[in-house]
Chains A and B, each alone.
Chain A
Amino acid sequence: MRKGWIWFLALALGLAWAQGQQPIKIGALFILSGNFAGYGKSGSQGAQLAVEEINARGGILGRPLQLIVVDDQGNPEVGVREARRLILQEKVNFLFGVDSSSVSLAVAPLTDEYKIPLVVTHAATPALTEQCRPYVFRTSNNARMDAWAAAALAATLPVKRWANIGPDYEFGRVSWQDFITRLKQLRPDVEVVSEQWPRFGSTDYASFITALMRARPEGVFSTLWAGDMVIFARQAKAFGFFNQVRYFVNPVGAALEVLAPLGKETPEGLLVSTRYWFLYPNTERNRSFVEAYRKRYNEYPSYNAQEAYAGIHMLALAIQKARSTQAEAVRRAFEADGGLVYEAPEGRKRMRPEDHQVFEGLVWGYTKHSPNYPFAILDRMRITPATDTVYPTQCKR
């Protein structure tokens, strides 16, 4: 009889232990096929590295993390279908990642429906966090912050005549609107001399380049990114565009996904930024991250890799603080004490409790070639402090 009691206790303890060992499941949506697969690949690599680090330390709440990465093809419908499969079939506790803005907006309503938090690490439309959803968090910059940082920087440049060339969709449009509105607040004397809107995914920019040059702008703002920026930069350089235009300002131009394929062809002296630049800041924290990433994947971490890496760590921090994976508890952990703070390789990330948007400093620099790297790096770096990017929000908590 006594023996039976011990067996029962052992069984119960075993069950409890097994329960505790159940992994915390994170379902990540990235673009793994098509034109932007490079971004999704580096994002999933960064997230995977963070998961491995955390598990090596014994996981969170004594439970290991499990990352399930799926391809959303950058298509909102596929994104919703896959997010539902992750929630209902894979029983994930969190949704994560998302490269495309439209996918992020499509998936966001599911967080209310299923009470599953979504941590976004790439999609940059300001609309996502302006919807004030309780379980949507963004741990990376959005396009408005980038545009405001660019405007703060542009206001210090000796430029009055501005022009724009951006991809013809929401991101390009909103970025330019935010940039020029903000710049006119800071510098009422600036004027706009030309706006060009090539189709997203264009392959021929010659006519746009000559039309821009004809307007004789002193500064050109651009949000061309990915292949568009690669192609534009090569064609514009051939036209001598960068000799005529003194300042070419692109808040997404220093992505490794752009600079690496351009290689030694990158024009020098472009004033560009990116959400994370692997050589900044020169801290032990950042150096060890770059080292670990290179050791694991044999390449330098791009901004998307670092943002996904930081996103996993920040989510883990929130779970730790909440001592739970429940959506409501995690939300409170993100919001508490003026917003969760995380020291990422790129520096401090602080979440604004009202709209769940992280704010952080931004690094800018002029492109310059270096014998040590096969691509251009940032020179004469200029840091926009986080405070310069803090725009007002309508959300309330």
Chain B
Amino acid sequence: MREACDLVVVGAGPGGLAAACRAAEAGLDVLVLDAQPEPGGQVWRSEARKGANRLARRWLTRFAASGARFRPGARVVAAPEPGVLLVEEGSSSFAVRYGRAVLATGARERFLPFPGWTLPGVLGVSGLQVLVKDGLPIRGKRVVLAGTGPLLLAAAATIHAHGGEVLYIAEQASAASHWGFALQLWRHPAKLLQGALMSAALISVPTSTDAWVIAAEGEGRVESVRLSVRGREEQLRCDYLGAAYGLVPNLEVARLLGCETSAGAVVVNERLETRVPKVHAVGELLGIGGVDQALVTGELAGLVAAEQPIPVELERTWHRVRAFAAQLARHDAPRAELRRLATPDTLLCRCEDVPMSALEGCQNLREARLYARLGMGACQGRTCGTAAQTLFGWSGEDVRPPCLPARIGSLRLPSDVSSTHARES
């Protein structure tokens, strides 16, 4: 099976939706691929059904009317030649031949290992939030959240709204860094309002800066957590722990396509073009910047792809949101203590069950992969690779196909792709 389009958009979060809307409204044939069953990405997950968030509703409605085609449950697994993607969709697969591409693959949480982090019931901060939005019964459940930045409050608000009991919010940032960050929010009116609303909803939740989770404990699932709170240790019994330290961009598809990255973000020019011709990157791929950055860069890339003029106001907005992204990065940087929580027995790689002790003598990521199987399992190092970078400063290896585990059948080339390639080479 084959698809052809003027523009393929990888990722249907705010950035991808904005790009798709702008390009489709300008007349391009746009195909949007996303692994989720519905458009909206992580941040607007389940909004397509619930419609609670006004901004989300506006964009999802606009997207539905734009003429762009949406393929849910579609995961890019390979890029066999320029202008072609191989996509796995459930138990089938197809190839997409595209003129231009906008990569809007968003971000994932940064997990750092601590004793007990592999127990069921220990999830990411946004991970737990997503599951609650998706129907995980949380009413009456006791929840501890540990992490950093605005995501903590967003998760707490969702859990609270669904009847969960948020016992504690542990913010790893220092008080000075945290309140400095909060004071900067006046530059960003939409976020200030958002933050205030969330704080109001959470007025009764104990929160501390300079606080993080030391260990999760329990038989077969998490039953209690130990926290470090401003130098003191506290133990709390709970049903769920959400623990993750900010976000990192999902760079795999961009790197599969050969896009240059630098300091954990895709390198783009003012037109949001990567170093690979006709491939744009938007949103979190440019450095974590949230919904505002995703929308404005998505719109810009969609307009560029459709060869439309760029409104001056849109460029101004982009420069403003960039400043916010830089502040967020400083605030969310994990503190040194978080790198020392894992014991020799703590698993770093959850897929291949590689404990910290197995890394003894390894000088770099390649050695850890070859000698200890770090990152050699099903998630291809998405979880432990980010952790190893934070813990040891090890940087990643090249991304090769498949950029996600995929059926071998999904890597097979349609006849016209392979014959085209053979003629060219």
Q: Do A and B bind each other?
A: no
Q: Which residues of B contact A (CB under 8 A)?
A: none
Q: Which residues of A contact B (CB under 8 A)?
A: none
